């Protein structure tokens, strides 16, 4: 199992990673491949992959949020034929070690199991992250802007690895959300969708 970062978008490895990406995420939750390509080329997004027997079996896209202690785990997926082999777990543990060294945290957008269908699948994903030490931002509503169509996706936000306290500053998370909307989704602070939830964030958020 070999971990590597991909910078060349003309490579076969990048193409294989994008095949996994397109298979794993519905259209309303994913950026276009040209957008991903541009972001990787510009160094805005970091594409990590796992190679197993010369086959790309896993991808993760990480977006360091400027001037913050947070890195957005934009996408993470394992090839359907290689799931349940511990690849994602191994990746998270490798990332955890690095994050602890540089004193950074991942922020995760995870589908909210209480909305829509595929409830069991969504709950399993939340349990997976919590099992590895991620903590949910209790009571924080978060909407993923529709990337295809008009319907946003109800999400929860999680922090990984374990935070230094049982609570986190509400204004910190509010600013991180505004920054995610601006940097990744080209939506400004006065965006109508953002305004439906971001102002509900309190002064202190429990981590559960």
Distance between CA atoms of residues 163 and 143, nearest Å: 23
In total, the chain counts a number of residues equal to: 208
Distance between CA atoms of residues 38 and 41, nearest Å: 5
pLDDT in tens, the chain (208 residues): 899 999 999 999 999 999 999 999 999 899 999 999 999 999 999 999 999 999 999 999 999 999 999 999 999 999 999 999 999 999 999 999 999 999 999 999 999 999 999 999 999 999 999 999 999 999 999 999 999 878 999 999 999 998 888 999 999 999 999 999 999 999 999 999 999 999 999 999 999 9
Q: Find, among 158, 134, 155, the residue nearest to 144 by Cα.
A: 155
Asked whether 53 and 63 are in contact (CB, 8 A), the reply is no
Q: Is pTM, for the whole model, over 0.75?
A: yes
Q: Where are the domains of the chain?
A: 60-206
**What pLDDT was estimated at residue 104?**
95
Asked whether 175 and 205 are in contact (CB, 8 A), the reply is no
Quick one: tokens of 84?
């349940």
Number of CB atoms found within 10 A of residue 146's CB: 15
**What pLDDT was estimated at residue 163?**
83
Write the CATH number of the domain with boundaries 60-206: 3.40.630
């Amino acid at each position: 199992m070999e971990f590597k970062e991909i910078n060349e978008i003309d490579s076969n490895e990048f193409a294989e990673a994008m095949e996994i990406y397109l298979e794993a995420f519905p259209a309303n939750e994913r950026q276009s491949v040209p957008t991903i390509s541009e972001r990787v080329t510009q160094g805005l997004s970091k594409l990590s992959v796992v190679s197993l027997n010369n086959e790309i079996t896993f991808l993760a896209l990480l977006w360091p949020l400027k001037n913050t202690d947070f890195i957005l785990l934009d996408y993470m997926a394992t090839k359907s034929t290689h799931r349940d082999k511990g690849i994602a777990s191994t990746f998270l543990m490798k990332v955890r070690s690095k994050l602890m060294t540089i004193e950074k945290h991942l922020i995760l957008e995870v589908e909210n199991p209480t909305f829509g269908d595929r409830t069991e699948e969504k709950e399993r994903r939340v349990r997976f992250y919590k099992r590895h030490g991620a903590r949910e931002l209790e009571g924080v509503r978060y909407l993923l802007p529709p990337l295809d169509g008009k319907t946003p996706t109800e999400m929860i936000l999680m922090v990984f690895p374990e935070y230094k306290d049982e609570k986190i500053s509400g204004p910190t998370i509010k600013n991180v959300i505004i920054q995610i909307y601006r940097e990744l989704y080209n939506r400004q602070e006065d965006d109508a969708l953002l305004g439906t939830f971001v102002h509900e964030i309190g002064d202190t958020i429990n981590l559960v």
